[in-house]
Amino acid sequence: MRGWNFSAGPAAIPQEVIKEVQEELLEYNSSGASIIEIGHRTDIYSQVAEESKNDLIEILKIPNSHEVLFLQGGATHQFSMIPLNFRNMGNNADYVVSGTWSKKAADEASKLIDVNISASSENMSFSVFPKCSDWDISKHSSYVHYCPNETIQGIAMHEIPKIDKPLMADMTSVILSQPLDVSKFDLIYAGAQKNIGPAGLTIVIISKELMEKGDSSLPKILRYSEHSKANSMLNTPPTFSWYFAGKVFKWIKRSGGLDYFEALNKKKAEKLYDFIDSSDFYVNNLQKSQRSLMNVTFNLKNDDLNSSFLDESKANSLLNLKGHALVGGMRASIYNAMPEEGVTKLIQFMSEFESKYG
């Protein structure tokens, strides 16, 4: 029996999509072979890739001014690929450090470009997201980078910053959870393992104008423009993850698109946060306006009960609720594939656990 998977990533995948993939895994579309055996340059796979790209463009309403790339290396590879491509555009790069992942991005970039920390909440243990009005943007920087949803700390910035510089965003844990005005970004990147599909694929949405300004002296494999020219097949792509992502895109469309998931995700998050806030047994001290809708972090007031909470939740088919080692406590990741029923089951368990030990 499948449990309710609250993992931050690799995360839950829609069960109906898993079943669909299972049914055609041995042989894809009367081809005589599995999708994982079909060459990426064949007509069969080219159709899979093209449909996936077009569906994503439709879902996010990506304008013609932007290119969509399906790459390897995870979001972490983008920590270095971005400064490599665009360090020729200015004297430095601006980074907003709001949590673990944006700090990692800034640290990696600092090996390749002078980094200005425009704002940071590290001295407050990343318990707040720096206000955009407080960002100290350099006059001659190449770009501004931020992470709107910090998976580990469970903190988020819900508005799009207005920046007079190329704007880059790590949207790994928030993309496809709600509508997004892509035109306000010059580069968006996201690892697949949250709302897109299995790990192994990274999606980059990049302004075509910006892409052409990339450092032409780099090896082809490191240049966005070269990946674009090759339709994301400069080398062998992660074919299974790409195919699977396409299935998830179609599921999103069938379900009602991003308007539907925005409403559902807000409902799930509000339901769980309301329960936590009404309890004396659980606590989340983040500002309500800065709480993540994807990654709900919370602590038990008595840390001695953490092990019991995790053991008993697992016994109740509530999986992967342990918080990240850097922050401790608990974390319930409630991406698109987590139905409202799963959140209801979690709240029921939390209430019963509180009655038992509170």
Helix (H) or strand (E) run with residue 170 in it: strand 167-170
Note the pLDDT tens digit of each residue in 289-348: 999 999 999 999 999 999 999 999 999 999 999 999 999 999 999 999 999 999 999 999
Please tell me whether 170 is known to bind a ligand.
yes
- 94 in helix, strand or coil? strand
The whole-model pTM stands at: 0.96
29 is in an annotated binding site: no
CATH number belonging to domain 15-255: 3.40.640.10
Q: Does residue 193 have a known ligand-binding role?
A: yes
The chain-wide mean pLDDT, for the chain, equals: 96
Task: Report the alpha-carbon distance of residue 174 to residue 178 in Å, rounded.
Answer: 8
CATH node for 257-357: 3.90.1150.10
pLDDT digits (tens, 9 = 90+) for 256-287: 999 999 999 999 999 999 999 999 999 999 99
What pLDDT does residue 91 have? 86
Expressed in angstroms, the distance from the first to the final Cα of the chain is 30
- Under a CB-based contact definition with an 8 Å cutoff, are residues 323 and 331 in contact? yes
Say if residue 1's pLDDT is above 80: no
For the stretch 152-175, pLDDT in tens is 999 999 999 999 999 999 999 999
Q: Label residue 144 by pLDDT band (50, 70, 90).
A: very high
Which whole-number Å values give the CA distances from 156 to 101, 215, 226, 235, 264, in the listed order? 12, 32, 33, 35, 18
Query: Is 149 labeled as ligand-binding?
Result: no
Q: What is the mean pLDDT of residues 121-147?
A: 95
- Each domain of the chain, given as residue ranges in start order, spans 15-255, 257-357
Amino acid at 133: S
As given in the structure block, the two tokens for residue 114 are 């002078």
Q: Is 135 annotated as a binding residue?
A: no
| Chain center to CA of 45 | 25
For the cut 80, the answer to whether the pLDDT of residue 26 exceeds it is yes
115: left (phi over 0), alpha (psi -120 to 50) or beta: beta
Q: How many CB atoms lie within 10 A of CB 61?
A: 13
* Listed residue (240, 95, 113) closest to 169, CA to CA: 95
User: Which pLDDT tens digit goes with each residue over 77-104?
Assistant: 999 999 999 999 988 999 999 999 999 9
Residue 155 confidence (pLDDT): 97
The answer on pLDDT for 212 being more than 90 is yes
Whether 51 contacts 246, CB under 8 Å: yes
Give the active site residues. 101, 170, 194
235 labelled binding-site residue: yes
What pLDDT score does 147 carry?
98
In angstroms, the CA 210 to CA 204 distance is 13
What whole-number distance in Å separates Cα of residue 54 and Cα of residue 46? 12
Residue 151, marked binder: yes
State the sign of the Cα–Cα–Cα–Cα dihedral 75, 80, 81, 87.
positive
CB 76 within 8 A of CB 52: no
Going from the C-alpha of 331 to that of each of 123, 176, 296, 306, the distances in angstroms are 22, 20, 5, 12
- pLDDT of 358: 84
**Which residue in 293, 264, 61 sits closest to 157, CA to CA?**
293
What is the C-alpha separation between 115 and 94, in angstroms, rounded?
6
